[in-house]
């Protein structure tokens, strides 16, 4: 596709001219920014500097919080872009960086959520094998680095091309809202790219996460006390609900939009664009799940806000050794100071729309 407005479909042009939708999305992004930055900032401080020992689950949570916070700090650029009516004045380099950041956040959040569910599954459902695993912390760190490597490799086409597009008839320059077909050489390469994003980075982690939590709930129903069952069930449902609400619409619409655009000359531009708000909203949800799911996290946050008496600090230290963040042990689980895993949501959310 070359830079001529005539090759943009009517739905795309109508979206660029719809100031109401653009301003409404800007308001949503402002709200996400106001919740994301302080919420994830406090969470990162508590997880990094106030939570010991650093279990694999805590390492995964730190990775998740870092990616959420990075998206929050980049949101002002997206807000400015929306308020300018899809006009990007910051150059192609910053456009590529922001696009890569938002999509990396979403897929790293999905993979991190999967890793946390697997860690929790091993600690609760397979406690014997879990205890036999060596160097779990090193594996968690390597796992985080491996996730980023896989995601960045999959998104390399976005990082290696100019994602800005001049719409001369509207006198605007878009950022990622119009992808050029020659970004990849053939339709076959586009199919591989889309399958990787949807199948490898979204669908497979989602299936693994669901299977892990189903097994966890089944195990706890048979072996644990009622309050443990209730907490595990609420956590699992919360994680899966956020996964379904925040990530599924965006990824399904991305695939449907791309297929219709590449093969039928049609698009689902508006629906996909709106789904980005849901995807991005995930980046500010995690701190609330930390708070409501973990007694230890609540205690530490209250201490920071000076809502808890200093005399309870020693008891908190004992509790920390006894129960890792988000842990839910079965009667046959690992020792109480083992990393029993954790369940949280993941993230991110991207803020762009390919219109090819």
List, for residues 316-353, the tens digit of each pLDDT value. 454 444 344 344 444 444 433 333 433 333 333 333 34
For residue 348, the model assigns a pLDDT of 38
**Separation of alpha carbons 294 and 292, rounded Å:** 6
The larger pLDDT score, comparing residue 153 to residue 235, is at 153
pLDDT average, residue stretch 32-38: 95
With beta carbons less than 8 A apart as the criterion, state whether 88 and 95 touch. Answer: yes
Q: How confident is the model at residue 5 (pLDDT cuts 50, 70, 90)?
A: very low
Dump the DSSP string for 88-153: --S-HHHHHHHHHHHHHHHHHHHHHHHHHHHHHHHHHT-HHHHHH---HHHHHHHHHHHHHHHHHH
Relative orientation angle of helices 92-124 and 136-154, to the nearest 10 degrees: 140
Q: How confident is the model at residue 227 (pLDDT cuts 50, 70, 90)?
A: low
Which residue intervals of 133-268 are DSSP H helices? 136-154, 156-159, 187-195, 204-223, 226-242, 248-264
Res. 273: pLDDT tops 80: yes
For residue 228, the model assigns a pLDDT of 66
- The SS3 call for residue 7 is helix
pTM of the shown model: 0.82
Q: Encoding tokens for residue 283?
A: 């980046």
With beta carbons less than 8 A apart as the criterion, state whether 102 and 350 touch. Answer: yes
**Separation of alpha carbons 292 and 89, rounded Å:** 41
With beta carbons less than 8 A apart as the criterion, state whether 21 and 270 touch. Answer: yes
Vertex 141: Cα angle to 130 and 288 (nearest 5): 85
The larger pLDDT score, comparing residue 205 to residue 6, is at 205
- For residue 67, the tally of other CB atoms under 10 A from its CB is 28
pLDDT digit string, tens, across residues 123-159: 888 887 777 666 788 989 999 999 999 999 999 999 9
For residue 22, the model assigns a pLDDT of 92
Beta partners for 166?
A: 173
The whole-chain average pLDDT of the chain stands at: 80
For residue 291, the model assigns a pLDDT of 67
φ/ψ (deg, to 5) at 84: -80, 5
Q: Give the percent of the chain with pLDDT over 90.
A: 41
φ/ψ (deg, to 5) at 125: -90, -35
For residue 312, the model assigns a pLDDT of 47
Residue 2 CA: distances (Å) to CA of 90, 168, 269, 300, 310: 21, 12, 19, 55, 66
């Amino acid at each position: 596709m070359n830079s001529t407005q005539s090759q943009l479909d009517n739905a795309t042009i109508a979206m660029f001219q719809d100031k109401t939708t653009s301003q409404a999305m800007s308001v949503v992004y402002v709200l996400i920014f106001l919740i994301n930055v302080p919420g994830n900032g406090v969470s990162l401080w508590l997880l990094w500097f106030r939570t010991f020992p650093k279990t694999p689950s805590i390492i995964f949570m730190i990775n998740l919080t870092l990616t959420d916070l990075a998206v929050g700090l980049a949101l002002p650029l997206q807000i400015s872009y929306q308020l300018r009516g899809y006009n990007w004045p910051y150059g192609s380099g910053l456009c590529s960086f922001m696009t890569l950041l938002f999509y990396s956040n979403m897929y790293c959040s999905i993979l991190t959520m999967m890793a946390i569910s697997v860690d929790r599954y091993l600690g609760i459902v397979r406690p014997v094998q879990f205890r036999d695993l060596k160097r779990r912390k090193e594996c968690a760190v390597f796992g985080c680095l491996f996730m980023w490597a896989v995601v960045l490799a999959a998104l390399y086409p976005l990082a290696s091309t100019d994602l800005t597009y001049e719409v001369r008839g509207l006198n605007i320059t878009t950022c990622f809202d119009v992808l050029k077909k020659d970004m990849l050489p053939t339709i076959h390469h586009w199919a591989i790219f889309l399958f990787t994003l949807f199948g490898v980075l979204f669908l497979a982690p989602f299936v693994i996460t669901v299977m892990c939590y189903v097994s966890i709930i089944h195990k706890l129903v048979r072996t644990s006390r009622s309050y443990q069952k209730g907490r595990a069930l609420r956590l699992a449902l919360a994680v899966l609900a956020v996964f379904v609400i925040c990530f599924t619409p965006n990824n399904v619409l991305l695939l449907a939009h791309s297929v219709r655009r590449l093969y039928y000359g049609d698009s689902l531009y508006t629906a996909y664009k709106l789904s980005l708000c849901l995807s991005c909203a995930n980046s500010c949800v995690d701190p609330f799940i930390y708070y409501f799911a973990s007694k230890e996290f609540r205690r530490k946050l209250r201490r920071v806000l000076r809502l808890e008496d200093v005399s309870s600090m020693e008891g908190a230290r004992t509790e920390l050794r006894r129960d890792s963040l988000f842990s839910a042990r079965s009667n046959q689980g690992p020792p109480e100071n083992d990393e029993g895993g954790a369940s949280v949501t993941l993230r991110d959310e991207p803020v762009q729309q390919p219109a090819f």
